[in-house]
């Protein structure tokens, strides 16, 4: 067990150094680490799909399931076989049906998720924040609660208006949106900038944390082998 831990620690140490070699520019060592990462990730995803999707949801029901279950599984089985034809150039056209179904279902899920999980939730959050009585019961200052609700409402509306690109046209003049839309769009642009700045700060902090962790790991490995 101890030898296995040492081996994997050395593997992690070497791969970390290979990734850090990118500091000197793109090189074969860094690309080797990337290839290993992509290969391991792909292998893990394939094993996960076979073990948790194909076998329990397709193969096992086809072998042990009832007649109705087998009948329902004919559609995904046929679509899966058609999708595999994409591996062969001469038969690739048969896989377009499977791709069409996947794209359609994926688009429907994304749109439904955006409406229910983002737009509807944002609207409900903007409305419920004006429930000052609930805020008082939680010990919140009603004035601060009202200010926060107004900021959230203005940010939500102005951000949505920012993506409204309809513009009126006049003779000999470029298309231009109404002034009130331009004003709200400017406020929305400010909220978008603050949001992107916060996201960038979060990503930078996560990357910095990962860098510190890797440097600490390298120091620990060197110390263990030297002392």
Rounded mean pLDDT of the chain? 85
Predicted confidence (pLDDT) per residue in 202-218, tens digit:
999 999 999 899 889 88
Q: CA triplet 199, 201, 204: central angle to 5 degrees?
A: 110
Contacts made by residues 63-71, CB under 8 angstroms, sequence distance 24+: none
Predicted confidence (pLDDT) per residue in 41-77, tens digit:
999 999 998 999 888 888 888 888 888 888 888 888 8
Q: CA triplet 167, 157, 141: central angle to 5 degrees?
A: 160
Record the pTM. Answer: 0.63
Whether 186 contacts 159, CB under 8 Å: no
Instruction: Check whether 104 has a pLDDT greater than 90.
Output: yes
Which residues, in sequence order, are CB contacts of 166 under 8 Å at separation 6+? 177
User: pLDDT grade, residue 40 (50/70/90)?
Assistant: very high
- For residues 122 and 209, give the distance between their C-alpha atoms in angstroms, rounded to a whole number: 31
Predicted confidence (pLDDT) per residue in 119-174, tens digit:
787 777 777 777 777 666 777 777 887 888 888 888 888 988 888 877 777 777 77
């Amino acid at each position: 067990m101890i030898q296995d831990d040492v081996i994997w620690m050395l593997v992690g140490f070497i791969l970390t150094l290979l990734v850090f070699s990118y500091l000197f520019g793109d090189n074969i060592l860094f690309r080797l680490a990337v290839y290993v990462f992509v290969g391991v990730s792909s292998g893990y995803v394939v094993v996960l799909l076979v073990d948790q999707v194909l076998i329990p949801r397709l193969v096992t029901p086809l072998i042990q399931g009832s007649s109705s279950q087998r009948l329902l599984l004919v559609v995904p089985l046929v679509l899966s076989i058609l999708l595999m034809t994409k591996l062969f150039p001469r038969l690739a056209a048969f896989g377009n049906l499977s791709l069409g179904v996947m794209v359609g279902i994926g688009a429907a899920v994304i749109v439904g998720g955006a409406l229910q999980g983002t737009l509807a939730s944002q609207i409900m959050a903007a409305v419920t924040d004006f429930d000052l009585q609930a805020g008082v019961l939680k010990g919140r200052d009603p004035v601060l609660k009202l200010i926060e609700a107004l900021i959230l409402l203005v940010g939500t509306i102005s951000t949505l208006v920012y993506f409204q690109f309809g513009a009126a046209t006049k003779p000999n003049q470029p298309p231009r949106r109404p002034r009130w839309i331009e004003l709200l769009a400017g406020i929305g642009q400010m909220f978008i900038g603050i949001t992107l700045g916060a996201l960038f700060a979060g990503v930078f902090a996560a990357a910095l944390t990962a860098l510190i962790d890797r440097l600490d790991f390298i120091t620990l490995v060197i110390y263990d082998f030297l002392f």
